[in-house]
Chains A and B, each alone.
Chain A
Amino acid sequence: MARQTRVSNSNMMTLSEKLKRFSWGLFIPVFIVLVISILILFSAGGGSWHPFAISQLIKIFLGLGIFFFAAFTNIKLWIKSAYIIYFIALLMIILVTFVGHTGMGAQRWLDLGIFHIQPSEFIKISLVLVLARYFSWMNWKDSIELKNYIIPIILMFLPFTLIVVQPDLGTAISLGLITVVMFYITGAKKQWFIVAGILAILAAPVVWFGGLHNYQRERIITFVNPDHDSKGSGYQINQAKIAFGSGGFVGKGYMSGTQSQQSFLPEKQTDFIFTMLGEEFGFIGAFILLIIYGIIISVLFWMAKTCRNRFGQLFCFGFMLNFFIYYFINISMVLGLIPTVGVPLPLMSFGGSSLLSLMFGFGLCQNAHINKDQQLSAKGF
């Protein structure tokens, strides 16, 4: 297609120029959260580097490598490969749906021998990337035409459907929200959202009774109400609340959380790491983390707002959204505000897939910020 033919090669920056534009405001808070995560994982291991802290430290080094790589490579490389990245992630989702291992309730893993991959973590970043890529290559006046939303809707629905079938509520909500909000930001008409909402409500019973097998319906019930079939999750959330609440204002002290240290707290190193922070460091500790998250969100928003090319703007905004949804769902879940859905706490939870995809996302935001004044598309915006 014509509008995709020319990617500008002008104004290539040297590394030192890029370093000058490097945003420490983004990197430092991210780095602090990573340090906190090692601190908490050390405690989760019972005051030991094993089994969590050392493993996570390695992943953090890997993540930092990915961050700098994504930040300092030519941004056009990433724009060009956006669809490829998306399809690789989608392929992993397809694979995991059919051959994946089920662990921790609904989370699905791909066992690659030496490590496990959680494709649902990658698909979130990939979707942001592909949507930013799609809309940035379009005149925004075109983007208010309905037909131009068909491709992005398909891009969202492919992984969304597979994830609903898995079922993985947290990821599905994230994908849906990211897409809807990005549509809105790109300028989609408000009436469309109303019409889409009504259509969804009307279509639901038809799909429910006509298009689904029994086992699929079962899965969706579980998807909407995870407590429905899992005896364990009531206990889990209860213990998590006790852990968090009993931390009080200042906490029980580092490595002194009775709930987490005595294994009352399940998944304390992954999805429930926030409760462990709250138990050992109290309201103060949890609040400080929220502040740092707030700073990261603000920096990402500022990057989106100051970015003078459409791709950078949309990616930073989409990633900011993703990051917010991530921690909002996780914290709401562990505080018992919403059902347990299996979303890790970004940058904090033990696990590589989430961390690496986030570090990649931060790297791309950094890259977009470095290149904020670059003209990237043929159509002149």
Chain B
Amino acid sequence: MIDSEVARLFDRRSALFLTGGAVLTSVLIIRMLQMQVFSYKDYKRRSESNSFRIQINVSERGKILSASGSPISRDAPIYRIYLVPEETDDIDGLIKIVSRELKIRKKSIDRIYKTIKKQVKFQPVLISENSDWKKLAELQAQNLPGLHIKSGYTRIYELGSAGAQVFGYVGVPSKPVPNAPFFTTGITGLEKAFNESLTGTPGQTVMIANAVGRITGEDKEQFIPSQIGKNLKTTIRENIQKKLHDVLTLNRAGCGVVIEINTGNILAMASTPSFDPNNFRMDDGEEYIASLRSDIAKPFMNKALEGLYPPGSIFKIIVALAALESGALLPNEKIFCPGYWDYGDRRYHCWEKKGHGSVDLVGALKHSCDTYFYQIALRIGIDSIKSMALKLGMGEKFLSEILPREMAGVIPDRNWKEKNIGIQWLHGDTIISGIGQGFILSNCLQIAVMMARVASNKIITPKLVEDNNSENFKNLKLQTKNIKTVLNGLEQVLQTGGTASGNAINVNGKKMGGKTGTSQVRNISMSERESGVLTNEQLKWNMRNHGLFVGYAPTNNPKYVICTLTEHSGTSSPAVHVAAETMKELLRDG
């Protein structure tokens, strides 16, 4: 038996280990507390990112609607089959199987490989859309790693290339969103401007993954359904938009805007050559985009807003009104045009070499007599012209909040020239401003707005998006008789002898008035003028004059305004033709 000495020895020596054991146990407890209580949040976060694979459920994008409510751009449900390169060790094998099963063309396979090379490995690569569902189901049943089949949406652009620059298109965001395959965002136009409301609220599906990343199920509790985006109602009239686009495409390049005067609604806005965003997702989409990029006629440019041109003779409307309002010109005052006007040591040529003879204001507008307006412009001065131009909406941006690339253009004066050119303003500058040349630059929308304001004597401001506010435009406070005189001149333009008489229209007695313009792209040198000005046919395409036209109809009660421009068409008549055809369609509508 243990004697007391041994028992004491045991007690004494074991006490040390009991103490040690207690200390070590408290170390464990402290560590447990530290991990599970104090650093809990950090570990929790790491644990969640470990086991959950969050997939963004792309929401159905809202439609872009025409004024009548028909869709211009809409999302259509589709099935996509795509692969994620990082999920498979055998991409070649996978593509081989899929292309055999779905009979994918060589061209698509090339595109697939190209995309794989270009993209980050976690990004999905589209194989095809809307393949035969039965075949897809068979493929899905094979459970090939890296291969996914998922329902989603694709954007359909109902108007195709008509107004594509205005409505814009969607595409992959420049910074790809992880876990959201085929997530798209508005890249240009209204798709971009209203991206937030169009996009809606994406939902999420949380998949549970195991340690090797294989999805083992779905965490239904964390599922959030996506919410469809809001529709965007525009002021665009589908048929007018199409018509304007179609007649514009008869020319190499151009643009046009149609405005409803009472409301300021933009009924059509087109720019050509255009592009069809429906083609972007085709197999040769990239080549298509590349060819568009290299086109010198700039298909991606919304020329109606971004294209600045000298307004040419159209500007005479402004000069005429400025002169009448200032009282410096009486409508019946006649000025003799011998085909030129000598001022100072320079000769200013009228476009009509033979001259117009003695013309009053209405005649000067009808025939677009340069000599008349040279003299009127100099008489009233550039400041007077400028203030009238600004009143009528020239130099103003109207849609830049939604289409920020809109350009303001230039309505020059003394200060402007000194600041920007560094040379003093000369009388010659005022003289050529009288026919809309020189430094003046404007876009089609501004010209259309100018016409709408003149025709209505109201400060019309255009809009592209329906906001359900009935517009109450303020009065422009021009003298009615002056407006009548100018409009009378513009009516004559499309009558016998007028500069646009060849395109006169008459839809149930409804006629169009307007003004033509050509804007010079190059300066004609003295020597060239002496040896005979080169005709447009002799010039390279991009050196030829632009043709412009602004019109309104019906003449007795103006409802619509149209401004058209045909780039490098040489004369204005192609532009008048576009306007006339579009206006006919409008007048037939009522």
Where the two chains meet, the residues of A that have a C-beta atom closer than 8 Å to any C-beta of B are 140, 181, 184-185, 187, 239, 241-249, 258-259, 262-264, 266, 278, 282-283, 286-287, 290, 294, 297, 301, 304-305, 307-310, 313, 317, 321, 324, 328, 331-332, 335, 337, 375, 380-381
B47-A258 in contact (CB<8A): yes
A328-B14 in contact (CB<8A): no
Chain B proximity of A53: nearest CB distance (Å): 20
B2-A381 in contact (CB<8A): yes
A305 to B18, CA, bound (A): 12
Collect the chain B residues with CB atoms within 8 Å of residue A259's CB.
Answer: 47, 50-51
Residue on A nearest B43 in the bound complex, by CB: A245
B14-A242 in contact (CB<8A): no
A243 to B43, CA, bound (A): 8
Residue on B nearest A328 in the bound complex, by CB: B24
Q: Enumerate 21 A-B pairs (CB-CB under 8 Å) in ascending A order.
A: A185-B10, A185-B14, A244-B35, A245-B36, A245-B40, A245-B43, A246-B40, A248-B40, A258-B47, A258-B51, A258-B208, A259-B47, A262-B50, A309-B1, A310-B6, A321-B17, A324-B21, A328-B25, A328-B28, A380-B1, A381-B3
**Looking at the complex, which of B209-217, B402-410, B459-467, B540-548 is the stretch in contact with chain A?**
B209-217
**Is B296 an interface residue when CB atoms closer than 8 A count as contact?**
no
Instruction: Tell whether A248 pairs with B1 under 8 Å between CB atoms, given A301-B14, A328-B28.
Output: no
B14-A305 in contact (CB<8A): yes
A287-B40 in contact (CB<8A): no
A259 to B49, CA, bound (A): 11
Task: Pick the residue among B2, B33, B42, B50 that contacts A310 (CB under 8 A).
Answer: B2
4 closest A-B pairs by CB:
A245-B43, A246-B47, A245-B35, A283-B36
Range of interface residues on chain B? 35 or more
Besides A242-B43, A283-B36, 19 other A-B contacts (C-beta < 8 A):
A187-B9, A239-B50, A239-B211, A245-B39, A245-B44, A248-B40, A258-B51, A262-B50, A263-B212, A264-B50, A266-B211, A278-B36, A282-B36, A294-B25, A304-B14, A308-B1, A308-B2, A309-B1, A375-B1
Instruction: Count A-B contacts at CB 8 Å.
Output: 126
A263 to B212, CA, bound (A): 9
In residues 1-40 of chain B, which contact A (Cβ within 8 Å)?
Answer: 1-3, 5-6, 9-11, 13-14, 17-18, 21, 24-25, 27-29, 31-33, 35-37, 39-40
A339 to B13, CA, bound (A): 30
Where the two chains meet, the residues of B that have a C-beta atom closer than 8 Å to any C-beta of A are 1-3, 5-6, 9-11, 13-14, 17-18, 21, 24-25, 27-29, 31-33, 35-37, 39-40, 42-44, 46-48, 50-51, 208-212, 216
B13-A246 in contact (CB<8A): no
A307 to B208, CA, bound (A): 55
- Which of A263, A301, A309 gathers most chain B CB within 10 Å? A263
Task: Pick the residue among A140, A248, A375 that contacts B37 (CB under 8 A).
Answer: A248
Instruction: Tell whether A309 pairs with B2 under 8 Å between CB atoms, given A245-B35, A262-B51, A332-B28.
Output: yes
Collect the chain A residues with CB atoms within 8 Å of residue B24's CB.
Answer: 328
A309 to B6, CA, bound (A): 10
A244 to B46, CA, bound (A): 11
B31-A337 in contact (CB<8A): yes
B2-A262 in contact (CB<8A): no
Task: Pick the residue among B21, B35, B37, B216 that contacts A335 (CB under 8 A).
Answer: B35
Collect the chain B residues with CB atoms within 8 Å of residue A266's CB.
Answer: 211
Chain B proximity of A244: nearest CB distance (Å): 6
A290 to B43, CA, bound (A): 22
Collect the chain B residues with CB atoms within 8 Å of residue A297's CB.
Answer: 21
Chain B proximity of A286: nearest CB distance (Å): 6
Residue on A nearest B44 in the bound complex, by CB: A246
A244-B3 in contact (CB<8A): no
Collect the chain B residues with CB atoms within 8 Å of residue A263's CB.
Answer: 210-212
A249-B43 in contact (CB<8A): no
Collect the chain B residues with CB atoms within 8 Å of residue A321's CB.
Answer: 17
A317 to B16, CA, bound (A): 13
A264-B51 in contact (CB<8A): yes
A197 to B208, CA, bound (A): 53
A297 to B14, CA, bound (A): 13
A243 to B46, CA, bound (A): 9
Chain A proximity of B426: nearest CB distance (Å): 79
